Structure 1
Amino acid sequence: MGLGGYPNITLRDARQMARDKRALVALGLDPIKEREKQKRDAARNIHLLRDIALDAFESRKAELKGDGVNGRWFSPLELHVLPKLGAVPVSDIDQKDIRDTLAPIWHDKAHTASKALNRLSICLRHAAALGLEVDLQATEKAKALLGKQRHKTQHIPAIPWQQMPDFYQSLNGGSITELAMRLLILTAVRSKPLRFIRLDEIEGDVWTIPSEAVKGRKDATSAFRVPLSQEALAVIEQAKPFERDGYLFPSIRKGVISDATMSRFMERRGMVERPHGFRSSFRDWTAEATSTPRDVAETCLGHVSGGVVERAYKRTDFLEQRRMLMERWASLNAADNLKVIMLSV
């Protein structure tokens, strides 16, 4: 068994190494095989889960919304997996390690835990693609050990659509918060793009939400057009004096109005409903009080429906149909306001 060449290995070093190898032989071990095992262990230890996770994240950035800059893909791993398993060689990770890591949040934070498990499975597949020996079934076996999640999804409380006109018309104080909530109701969009709405995104009676602000749309060409009713345009005109740095609904200090600001407004009124529930109110109205085709109603909410092949052939965004529908929704909610406008004319 060679121990290395002189002068890199001194005579003293060689004698000590020889004694160590003879000690292994005395224990019934093959010193050459033990040396090879140490080399394999050293190579394996380079591939820690933390490094594999970062590499997997980098390789998938192009598939993620905004190239993953918001960190939503990586955060379940960063917060709930890597603190415990990040320094563990990926080939050493088994179902018990995964179970022990996710057990504290498996039921209490079920949605987050499921995301973390999914991301970890992707990391293991990424490691396998790199040629590392990993157990690709470890996450499924861990899921079996963890058991069925007890968490039940709690839907956000929504105002019944029949009561929405009274609520809408009560937002008559002229504040930024009330105007933002009015426009949120009239457009049925999500809170974030509404809060970040810019005047240069509006052309005529169409508001174009940039693709990076649209949930579930990764294609840079997938901007979302929102038809604006006459009532919505009137609300925008009322909000223009508050405009700052191009944003229609700025906050008091910097940035834009927060979602919490609108939620607190409803709380102060003693309401359990929340702004996101406005979308549910709108969807219930389309289903119960109109004959709107499902695709049109879902497109109003910015939902992507149908399979990949179906979407490839269905290129329309139903803008004209949605324009008429949103006018009807505005008429329902702002009936008294519209009457006043008509009488004044």
Structure 2
Amino acid sequence: MYDVVSGSFIPCHTMLDVGVDWEGDQILPALHKLSSAKVKSASAGKYSDGGGLWLVKREDGGAQWVLRVTIHGRRREMGIGNLQSVSLKEARQAAETWRAVVREGKDPIKERDQQRRLAARESHTLASVALEAFEARKSQLKGEGKAGRWFSPLELHVLPKIGKIPVEELDQQDIKIALAPIWHEKADTARKAMNRLGITLKHAAAMGLDVDIQATEKAKALLGKSRHKAQNIPYMPWPEVPAFYASLNEQTVTHLALRLLILTSVRSGPVRFCRLDQIQDNVWTVPAENMKGQEGAVNDFRVPLSDEAMIVIEQAKPFERDGYLFPSVRKGVISDATMSRLMERRSLAARPHGFRSSFKTWCEEATNEREAVVETALAHVVGNKVERSYRRTDLLERRRELVSRWADHVTGRDASKVVKIA
């Protein structure tokens, strides 16, 4: 007997397993031959439900639905799913769907693969891949990126506009459209967003997706050179610092925090989150997660404390709450803007971060200290990777001498260099 399902002659006893109906001279495969009870109780073997749908049970207890079809003279078998997850009814529905594809002259396996590729492309939107890239990069970011600053340029200015585009379809025109409104007006934010986009595209390429990793560079060419000119944070000339320091004479959290910031030349973040348990003897150990998120800032940073700095810490202890030396009025610690607003209210152009420049300029103009010591005092990465691998010291004692001299200047002990400010 000739089996239209398999396309070959088969013995009569096998034909009984296949099951056929007759219509004139045409042999039609019988459908729905299996029952739920038979599906459940059948031992290892192959069982036809008709229409090319087979249940294949293995010796190990596993079972799978298989659809056999012939397309363009070629025998094809496609898995429809395992018995545990696909019921008899669902298998029959799927089989009919794919038989309809065959009737249209299409290969069902190729059609299914194409559908899966399209579905995967739609699921790999720019937004989803950007979030995945962010998750993969968290360990390199300050506080594992919990503050969200790494992701925010994309979240605010890019993803609302082009986040739904499949990342494989993203091109320079899409990026240009997203960043054009802020390219000149918010140049720093636009630069960060472009950087994050580049990282996202590289991450997508690592996932095996077909992306244009040059899309960001092409977008920059379309957007043109930014008209925005970067401005450095205003700083206070070092001869004026003693007079300002002397004016911080109130026993308040803000005054004390500013005084410690000036004396140690660290950034405002570590000062605001300074805890008593970070200070032992005359060394303040800033945890790595409180340091600026940059390459190389992966270790705790030791800050030598001058006698004046220790005095400030003692004066701040009565304000301590939950271990923090500089708590806010309500909860947590003082905000990033608290110290800046104090200087703004005094009509000063300088800002707290600028005292790092004050210290650096003082080192260059009033001392002969080596650059490596000065840069280390500012928690900057010194030297290339090879040089850093051989360096086994953080120059703590050399820095201690330097900050002590700086404290002498700040407190006015070096009176000959002091310049009064209005």
TM over 0.5: yes
1:112 equivalent in alignment to 2:197 = no
Q: 1:249–1:85: structure 2 CA closer, same or farther, 3 Å change rule?
A: same
SS at match of 1:226: strand
CA contact (8 A) 2:141 2:293 kept: no
SS at match of 2:337: helix
SS at match of 1:181: helix
Q: 1:327–1:43: structure 2 CA closer, same or farther, 3 Å change rule?
A: closer
Deviates more, 1:281-290 or 1:119-128: 119-128
- The one-letter amino acid of 2:392's match is R
Q: 1:321–1:160: structure 2 CA closer, same or farther, 3 Å change rule?
A: same
CA contact (8 A) 2:157 2:178 kept: yes
1:79 equivalent in alignment to 2:164 = no
Cα RMSD after superposing both structures: 2.9
1:333 equivalent in alignment to 2:418 = no
**Paired residues for 1:135-146 under 5 Å:** 135-146=212-223
Correspondence for 1:177: 254
- 2:287 aligns with one of 206, 210, 215: 210
Structure 2: gaps (5+ residues): 1-69, 72-77, 81-90, 416-422
1:108-155 Cα distance to aligned partner (Å, 9 max, x none): 121221221122122222222222222222111111111111121111
Structure with greater contact order relative to length (CA < 8 Å, sep ≥ 6): 1
Aligned length: 327
Query: How much identity, in percent, do the aligned residues show?
Result: 59
Alpha-carbon distance in 2 for matches of 1:235, 1:203: 15
- 1:47 aligns with one of 102, 124, 138: 124
1:299-329 Cα distance to aligned partner (Å, 9 max, x none): 1111112111111111211111111111111
Q: 1:331–1:118: structure 2 CA closer, same or farther, 3 Å change rule?
A: same
- The one-letter amino acid of 1:202's match is I
Structure 1: gaps (5+ residues): 22-29, 339-345
**Paired residues for 1:223-242 under 5 Å:** 223-242=300-319
Alpha-carbon distance in 2 for matches of 1:45, 1:267: 50
What displacement does 1:44 show? Answer: 2.3
Alpha-carbon distance in 2 for matches of 1:154, 1:107: 14
Correspondence for 2:25: none
CA contact (8 A) 1:211 1:219 kept: no
What displacement does 1:43 show? Answer: 3.8
**Paired residues for 1:130-209 under 5 Å:** 130-209=207-286
Alpha-carbon distance in 2 for matches of 1:105, 1:80: 8
- 2:177 aligns with one of 100, 108, 131: 100
Runs of 4+ in 1 over 6 A off after TM superposition: 9-18, 30-34, 218-221
Alpha-carbon distance in 1 for matches of 2:115, 2:319: 68
Alpha-carbon distance in 2 for matches of 1:11, 1:193: 66
Alpha-carbon distance in 2 for matches of 1:227, 1:240: 19
1:249-284 Cα distance to aligned partner (Å, 9 max, x none): 111111112232211211222212111111111111
1:229-255 Cα distance to aligned partner (Å, 9 max, x none): 111111111111111111111111111
Alpha-carbon distance in 1 for matches of 2:311, 2:161: 54
Deviates more, 1:7-16 or 1:107-116: 7-16
SS at match of 1:276: helix
- 2:366 aligns with one of 279, 289, 297: 289
Q: Which has the higher strand share?
A: 2
**Paired residues for 1:14-93 under 5 Å:** 40-93=117-170
Alpha-carbon distance in 2 for matches of 1:188, 1:16: 72
CA contact (8 A) 1:91 1:133 kept: yes
CA contact (8 A) 2:343 2:350 kept: yes
| TM-score for the superposition, normalised by structure 2 | 0.71
Work out which of the two has the higher radius of gyration on C-alpha atoms and give 1 or 2.
2
- The one-letter amino acid of 1:8's match is Q
Q: 1:111–1:14: structure 2 CA closer, same or farther, 3 Å change rule?
A: same
CA contact (8 A) 2:141 2:294 kept: no
SS at match of 2:284: strand
| TM-score for the superposition, normalised by structure 1 | 0.85
Q: 1:10–1:68: structure 2 CA closer, same or farther, 3 Å change rule?
A: closer
Alpha-carbon distance in 2 for matches of 1:93, 1:284: 46
Deviates more, 1:149-158 or 1:211-220: 211-220
Alpha-carbon distance in 1 for matches of 2:97, 2:152: 52
What displacement does 1:91 show? Answer: 1.4
Alpha-carbon distance in 2 for matches of 1:219, 1:71: 20
CA contact (8 A) 2:184 2:227 kept: yes
